[in-house]
Structure 1
Amino acid sequence: MTDHLTDLDAAVDWLLQRVDGPLRIGAPLALGKPHRLLNALYARVESDASRPLQLYTALSLNPPKPPSGGLEGRFMAPFAERHFGADFPRLAYADAVARDRLPAHVQVEEFYMQSGALLGSSQAQRGYTSLNYTHAADAVAQRAPHAIVQKVAMRPDDRRLSLSCNNDITQDTLDAMAARGLPRPLLIAEIDPQLPYLGGSATVDVTFFDLVITPPPPYPALFGLPRQPVSDADYAIGLYASTLVRDGGTLQIGIGTLADAISHALVLRHTDNARYRQILRALDPELEQNPTVLECGGLEPFEVGLYGCSEMLNEGFRRLVQTGVIRRKVHDDLSLMQRIENGSTLSIDHATLEAEGEYLHGAFYLGSPDFYQWLRDLPEDECRAIGMRRISEINQLYGGNETLERLQRRHARFFNSCMIATALGAATSDALEDGRVVSGVGGQYNFVAMAHALPEARSALMFRATREDARGLQSNVRWNYGHTTIPRHLRDIYINEYGIADLRNLTDEDCVVNMTAIADAGFQDNLLQTAKASKKLATSFTAPARWRERNSAAAVSATLAPFRHSGELPDYPLGSDFTEVEQHLVKALGWLKQNTTTRSGKLRTVLAALRQPAGDGDVVYLQRMGLDAPQTLGEKIEARLVRLGLARTA
């Protein structure tokens, strides 16, 4: 029998009455966390050492806390309040973890973190569990949680609830606990009317849960990821990646500006193919004859369309569906899919596929407020074409219906990002050399391994060729690195703004050559010298002159500049959460940050700012930053810095 409550404190009482002593709680990652329920529970146990709490989760999302001073704080504070809402319920335990202020009787284990946000937290770093996403359900089951708490969607007068944004591991965890002979945990749902209702396998009867909570309004907005501007390097990477996608194939992408760039490039390929090819020729005149493009990709519009199968659905998939790039439907009827594959379809098969098939599968979703509104407003037939599935179905082939999934995922392309790639083919994506975790492995290893298991599938890891830190410009193509996420024996395709490096099945020497070909010109000599000293490259090898000529940030920007100015490559291809004034400020502040990473850079930038004259229209930007009437010396310098940034990015 399912209990129903409207009061969060009463819900905590309900839980505490049914569990004696320590509490072990599981909660979904990201959007599916019931923030208010978790806060009520944490408030109850925070000062009560007789009630130890262990929480198993991932990606605990809180709005950023802008610094109290400086240009970043001036920009972010008003934006964060407007975008997230002043009443957004911050996760109290996550704030405590970030400050290393969790009480000793409370432990939080996470297998994925908000990227780079918890590098300074000892409690977060010690509580991290390194897992492939497909292993998370069994890891939670091993802890024998007393309860799983989850946010759900509900339609009026409907006895079914939608797991909506998080169909990923709840059911897998229940199966794993049953396999271990463990009792079924209490299942607690918090209904959020803001959450889009998605049907299919994401729905369960209300009796699936032991307790359903319907908190009273007002209902805070869902956590929305602010969409960031796409840089020249990101666009170049996205354009190269788009050439590796085969019409009629399968697509998986990650999140962030690289995913935005891929999505935009695929849309451009489909909707304005002539201009798309013109951009590619400017980027690389030989790209159309690239062996990897010829073997596994294409440049033509999508006649059949793609099937999306990605652990996370995001902003890019919205645009790909809207423009008809994603429209190839699949069905869970094995016989039907086999008939489609071998060309022996029955007369009714195509009608069945059209009526019942799905063209987009995901395990969780996360995006902007516009993305959530799109999901809420989908017509019934389009909503039925999106299927939220278990992570065990999305991220792997084994353990379920492998034969069916192989038929559905033909010509699969898995695009994910990494931080560093080595010349011999290994990738670093989740942690630093000293062991501190930046984010997590998530599903990256799953998709890389699947690309080797599926016929005609490829994995592409994308990364920017360089980065700036306190030491200056650094190469992200390294000879070696002290941490590895993807081992080099699973090497496949790497993409950065300088091109495509296909490493699958190559010798070490060929890997070195191909990776150096996409390294920044300023770091190629050192890479080649190290390779020769390590006996991995013939001492007679000489790099072609064209590697130096085209492998620079300036060359990429100059190539793409005409298409930036004409509007084919906009700063925000999938829409923006910033006002027009803020969009200009984002570019200006980004330029300032890039040019002040080193002490000498800060000095040069400040001196240039002191000489920067007032520009026409600067007032509206200074007003947004609260610097239109600077009083102190620091405010006057900040105002001049903003003017300089605006002038340099105009």
Structure 2
Amino acid sequence: MTVNANGAYKSKIKTIDEALKTIKSKDFIIAAMAGSEPIPLLEKLHKIKEYGVRGCELSNCLPMRDYEFIKNPHYSDTIFTAGWFYSPVMRKAHDFGNVSFAPQHLHSSFTKRLYARDNRRLVLLCTCASMDKHGYLSLSLGTTYERQAIDEGAYVIAVVNSKLPRTFGDTLVHISEIDVIVESDYKVPTLPEVPINDKDQKIGEFIAEMVEDGSTIQLGIGGIPNAVAKALKSKKHLGIHTEMFTDGMVDLIQCGAVDNSHKTIYRGQSIATFALGSQRLYDFIDDNPSVILKYGKWTNNPYIVGQNHKMVSINTSIEVDLFGQCASESIGSMQFSGTGGQTDTAVGAQNCSEGKSFIALYSTTKVKNEEGEKVTISKIVPMLKHGAAVSLSRNDVDYVVTEYGIVRLRGRTIKERVERLISIAHPDFRDELSFEAKKNRIW
């Protein structure tokens, strides 16, 4: 470590309270997402109200903790939260009116218009792995929008955590680009392993049958994506170009199914924009030049995605109607999660001449009726629930998969879509779906 870098680093160290006192009224604050969240800062962020700060807006994505500034409406005049992807705490806080969802595609989500329109100062709250001897720190688990905010002149408050993995790509940050440093070696957030059930396994096997050797894949997280990853272990020469780097991908690399040898972009390397999972995953990506984290605006750009060899996109949905519209982020008008990169990757895969895009979901789910009793309903429906957000339009859907099979909708008429979707619905609901299709002239 050079003397100048070492001196610059030490001169920027502050306590959490000192760091928070640098935030001003009407700042536009961006919090690093998911596992990259600066937890020590966010746990105390509500305290800026005591310092007289008012009128700030905070933009976040997939918050990992139950933060006071989000869940307590007492702080809404100090911090109003705009979320790109809801987690349970955001869903609860939405009812209080102090948070709101920001609809957007991930690849185009960060723009100067977010804050410049109000002449706000841009502030980034982020995390970094420890500085190296050359004066560079690493954004570690993600650079979806964090590096871009730094490029656009954000005032940067970074929590430096020696337990974070050091990663490569667009994650490098020089000490000269950071304004305030808070040191805190807290445990890095992890996700519990989601077990694979029988439905997941069937869906995973259906999709795996359609994935050719040499394909480039994009996967999410959860039971279905985990099952797909498991079913892909027998494949050869797969590549990874994904939004989120997961434990399932570590498994595919370590078993030899993924070697990235047939990719057209960054051959020999796995590409993602952020990583989230177990400690095993973090240990795998630490100082590993075969895993590259890139700007979200690049990784998720449909034009870039479509340049990959035999690109395969695999996403999930909450509900699909007989037109092929996918409601993947809301239950009726209630925001449940977020758009994320579903449209980015689904459209991107279809930009590839040999690409395929899959939307997977269970055929049914259980909900409470008006009497509070649990009943089974179909997730393939005549029409989406009132107020539901269409995450993937009927023009952009390709394959749809349930535990009852897989059908292709792209290029098909509404009549053909109705027949195909009903064929993979739960048998108990097929007659009802046919009746509703005729009744509403869905053909």
TM-score (norm 1): 0.61
- Which SS does the other structure have where 1:243 is aligned? helix
Asked if 1:478 corresponds to 2:388, the answer is no
Closer, same or farther in 2 for the Cα pair 1:117/1:53, shift >3 Å? closer
Residue 510 (structure 1) aligns with: 416
Q: Greater Rg, structure 1 or structure 2? A: 1
CA–CA distance in 2 between the matches of 1:55 and 1:374?
Answer: 32
Q: What is the number of residues matched between the two proteins? A: 424
SS at match of 2:42: helix
Going from structure 1 to structure 2, the CA distance change for 1:41 and 1:154 (only over 3 Å counts) comes to same
Give the equivalent residue in structure 2 for 1:251.
217
Q: 1:499 to 1:146 in 2, by over 3 A?
A: same
1:148 and 2:148 matched:
no
Higher helix share: 1
Q: How does 1:106-117 map to 2 (within 5 A)?
A: 106-114=79-87
Equivalent position of 2:56 in the other structure:
53
Q: 1:392 aligns with which of 278, 292, 297?
A: 297
1:261 aligns with one of 212, 216, 227: 227
1:520 maps to 2:426? yes
Contact in 2 for aligned 1:423/1:477 (Cα 8 Å): yes
Q: Which moved more, 1:448-457 or 1:243-252?
A: 448-457
Q: CA RMSD in A?
A: 2.4
Shift of 1:309: 0.8
Please tell me whether residue 198 in structure 1 is matched to residue 174 in structure 2: no
SS in 1 for 2:59: strand
Matched residues in 1 for 2:29 and 2:208: separation?
42
- Structure 2: how far apart are the matches of 1:125 and 1:239? 43
Q: 2:176 aligns with which of 200, 207, 211?
A: 207
The aligned amino acid for 2:38 is P
**Aligned-partner Cα distance in 2 for 1:140–1:32:** 21
**Counterpart-to-counterpart distance in 2, 1:470 and 1:453:** 40
The alpha carbon displacement at 1:146 in A equals 3.0
Does the 8 A contact of 1:313 with 1:364 survive in 2? yes
Alignment partner, residue 584 of structure 1: none
Which structure is higher in strand share? Answer: 2
Q: Per-residue displacement from partner, 1:434-475 (whole Å, max 9, x unpaired)?
A: x11000111111112213322221110100000011231100
1:22 Cα deviation from its structure 2 partner: 2.9
Q: Deviations over 1:303-348 (max 9, x none)?
A: xx111011111111110111111112478xxxxx69xxxxxxxxxx
Q: 8 Å contact 1:251–1:309 — kept in the other structure?
A: yes
Q: Give the letter for the 1:461 counterpart.
A: I
Distance 1:519 1:251 in 2: 26
Work out whether 1:4 is the aligned partner of 2:12: yes
Q: Does 1:530 align with 2:436?
A: yes
Is it true that 1:359 corresponds to 2:269 in the alignment? yes
User: What's the offset of the Cα at 1:152?
Assistant: 0.7
What's the CA shift for 1:509? 1.0
Matched residue, 2:405: 499
Aligned to 2:280: 370
Alpha-carbon displacement from aligned partner over 1:191-210 (angstroms, at most 9, x marks no partner): 11111101233222222222
- Over 3 Å counting, the alpha-carbon distance change for 1:260 and 1:33 in structure 2 is same
Where in structure 2 are there 5+ consecutive unaligned residues? 1-7, 370-374
Matched AA of 2:216: T
Give the Å deviation of 1:155.
4.9
Q: Aligned with 1:318: secondary structure?
A: helix
**Structure 1: gaps (5+ residues):** 63-89, 178-183, 271-300, 332-336, 339-352, 538-650
CA contact (8 A) 2:105 2:340 kept: yes
Q: Which residue pairs with 1:285 in the alignment?
A: none
Seen in structure 2, the aligned counterparts of structure 1 residues 455 and 119 have a Cα distance that, compared at 3 Å, is farther
Q: Equivalent residues in 2 for 1:82-231 (5 A)?
A: 91-96=67-72, 100-114=73-87, 118=91, 121-123=94-96, 126-138=99-111, 140-142=114-116, 144-155=120-131, 157-174=133-150, 177=152, 184-215=153-184, 219-231=185-197
Q: Secondary structure at the match of 1:367?
A: coil
* Contact persistence 1:422–1:477 (CA under 8 A): yes
Partner SS, residue 243 of structure 2: strand
The alpha-carbon distance between structure 1 residues 115 and 315, as it changes in their structure 2 partners (threshold 3 A), is farther
Residue 312 of structure 2: aligned partner: 413
In structure 2, C-alpha distance between the alignment counterparts of 1:39 and 1:225, rounded to whole Å: 19
Matched, 1:487 2:386: no
- The answer as to whether partners of 2:285 and 2:291 remain within 8 angstroms in 1 is no
Distance verdict in 2 for CA 1:157–1:95, change over 3 Å: farther
CA contact (8 A) 2:87 2:337 kept: yes
How far did 1:106 drift?
A: 2.2
Report the residue type matching 1:309 in the other structure.
H
**Structure 1 residue 229, shift from structure 2 partner:** 1.7
Change in 2 beyond 3 A, CA 1:162/1:523: same
* Residue-by-residue CA offset, 1:31-81 (whole Å, 9 max, x unaligned): 1111112334422x234555433211111112xxxxxxxxxxxxxxxxxxx
State the 1:101 CA deviation.
Answer: 4.4
Q: What secondary structure sits across from 1:261 in the alignment?
A: helix
Q: Report % sequence identity.
A: 21
Q: Distance between the aligned counterparts of 1:23 and 1:535, measured in 2? A: 52
Q: Match for 1:25: what amino acid?
A: I
| Aligned residue among 315, 328, 348 for 2:260 | 328
What displacement does 1:534 show?
3.4
Structure-2 change in CA distance of 1:125 and 1:424 (3 Å): farther
- Counterpart of 1:476, as a letter, is K
Taking the aligned partners of 1:450 and 1:406, their CA distance within structure 2 comes to 5
Q: Distance in 1 between matches of 2:430 and 2:89?
A: 28
CA distance in 2, matches of 1:360, 1:206: 27
Alignment match, 2:3: none
